[in-house]
Amino acid sequence: MPPSSPFPASDPDLASGPPDDPSVGPLGDPALDTPSPSDGDADVGACDPMERRTVVVVEDDDSIAELLDLYLARAGYQVARAATGAAGLALVAERQPVIAVVDIGLPDGIDGLEVCRRLRADGNVPVLMLSARGEETDRIVGLEVGADDYMTKPFSPRELVARIKAILRRTGDPGGSGSSDEAPVELGGVSIDLVRREVRVAGSPVDLAPRELDLLVALVENRGRVLSRRQLLDLGWGYDWYGDERTVDVHVAQLRRKLGKDFPLVTLRRTGYRLG
């Protein structure tokens, strides 16, 4: 995994990307380079149903590819990345993914639409197209060349994962319902059911505000990792949510109050937070 930031601080593709904000500083955060489920990439036999299902991401913007990697890995997918159309086609042939996520704007001659056309001609791997342009014509051309779905940047990675699962359900992938995250997570007397979005402390249901729940889910999905406030904003509330970093502190304080003193949510001075 390249040590790039998953945050699109200066992505020319993003029509409405975030401003060049000095607060994006801590994002060279080594925490994101520490083990993620996509590490330990021991050459996966694509035909083994017990192996995690692979998603090929064809995207030349490392920050976006990294963000997708993080989210898809947490959703139980193995991610294989390529930055050009040619490399993407080769990767699909090699890895036999359950779906390909393909950016339209790619360097070196073969753009995302052409990638999609060739994938359609050669097989039946579902394709979700990404575009920096919100133009209706792109959407129509994307769907005409056979894409299964289409999203415009900036997008919420959570929504992208949801749409991938929907495509896989439609196209009959047996694991498409995300069966890997079903058991509730137990931490410090708190039980968190990520599928039902239910939280219990010592067996009793706790009422969390939607933003508190989103933040908690992001922490649980990344437990053991140090996350900066900026990362928590992005992971908790989406790629397109650009709030004040102190919002995170406020919601963390609420979570601590509601989840009790045994809940292992650690503050790291000047760095961020870590669960577990």
CB closer to Ca ion out of 10 and 171: 10
- Closest listed residue to residue 7, CA positions, set 232, 276, 252, 261: 232
* Cβ distance to Ca ion smaller for residue 65 or 119: 65
Contact between 103 and Ca ion per CB under 5 A? yes
The 8-class DSSP code of residue 69 comes to H
Asked whether position 105 contacts Ca ion by CB under 5 A, the answer is yes
Contact between 185 and 191 under an 8 Å Cβ cutoff? The reply is yes
Minimum separation from the CB atom of position 131 to Ca ion (A): 9
Give the other-Cβ count within 10 Å of 187's Cβ.
18
Number of residues that bind Ca ion (CB under 5 A): 4
Q: How does DSSP classify residue 103? A: E
Q: Which is nearer to Ca ion, 60 or 149 (CB)?
A: 60
Q: How far apart are CA 208 and CA 38, in angstroms?
A: 31
Q: Does 142 bind Ca ion (CB under 5 A)?
A: no
CB of 106 to Ca ion, least distance (A): 6
Instruction: Give the single-character DSSP code of 132.
Output: S
Residues 28-67 that bind Ca ion (CB under 5 A): 60
Q: Which of 1, 5, 7, 13 binds Ca ion (CB under 5 A)?
A: 13
Q: Which CB sits closer to Ca ion, 60 or 212? A: 60
Q: Which amino acid is at 24?
A: V
Q: How far is the CB of 252 from Ca ion (least distance, A)?
A: 34
Helix, strand, coil distribution of the chain in percent, nearest 5:
40, 15, 45
Q: Which residues would be at the binding site for Ca ion (CB under 5 A)?
A: 13, 60, 103, 105
